Amino acid sequence: MLFTLQQTKDAINNFDHGTRELFNITGTGIIFTSFPQGYLSITNGIFDQIAGTALLCLFVKAIIDKNTAIPYYLHPLLIGFAVFVIATGFSYNGMGSINPARDFGPRLFLWVAGYSWKAISFNDYKWFWIPIVGPLIGGIVGGYGYEIFIGRHQPEISPELDPNKGQRTVGPDSHEGKRKQSFFSSFGPY
């Protein structure tokens, strides 16, 4: 954040003439953090954050579940795609926070960078806690929701059909009791 502000300081000063505002015609604070639409109620804001984070956790658990047989090298791409889809789908109401680190940390940064206390006290303190509490609840709902509705009902994958066989990098091998082969050890001894 500090690097971004330093790199864009001249452009921001040119745009807002040194007056740090969150909104208005020359407001630049909205660049760094999320602010809800004016019509968004507290109830719908909480639901927005819970649903977005629950979907994220559900997708991540589905992608990394060994019984879905998704190769390990596709995990980062698929998780990134899931974050993209959720962030764009949930961005209109609450700007897709789905993580306290995407909202509260940047708010503190705005306050330190000179955008005044309004960055934290926005909407009479009715918003700043929602992207903190909502994702915590959503993570629990999504994680347990996957286990209850999908994970428990999936059959175990056959070892010969496992696309990740021999590619696991950490943890003991459940059927041999040996450490699993890592990517670097496949090149031989050092």
The architecture that CATH gives domain 2-157 is Up-down Bundle (1.20)
pLDDT digits (tens, 9 = 90+) for 42-97: 999 899 999 999 999 999 999 998 888 888 889 999 999 999 999 888 888 888 78
pTM of this structure: 0.74
Token pair, residue 164, equals: 């990740």
Radius of gyration of the chain (CA): 22
Q: How far is CA 97 from the centre of its chain?
A: 8
Could you tell me which residues come within 8 angstroms of residue 52 by beta carbon, excluding any fewer than 6 positions away? 86, 87, 89, 90, 96, 97, 98, 135, 138
Q: What is the mean pLDDT of residues 168-190?
A: 47
Q: Token pair for residue 127? A: 């918003």
How many Å apart are CA 9 and CA 114, to the nearest integer? Answer: 12
Tell me, what's the pLDDT at 46? 92
Query: What separation in angstroms does the CA of 49 have from each of 132, 162, 167?
Result: 9, 35, 35
Cα 39 to chain centroid, rounded: 24
What are the sequence ranges of the domains in the chain?
Answer: 2-157, 158-190
* pLDDT over 60 at 188, yes or no: no
d(CA 133, CA 138): 9
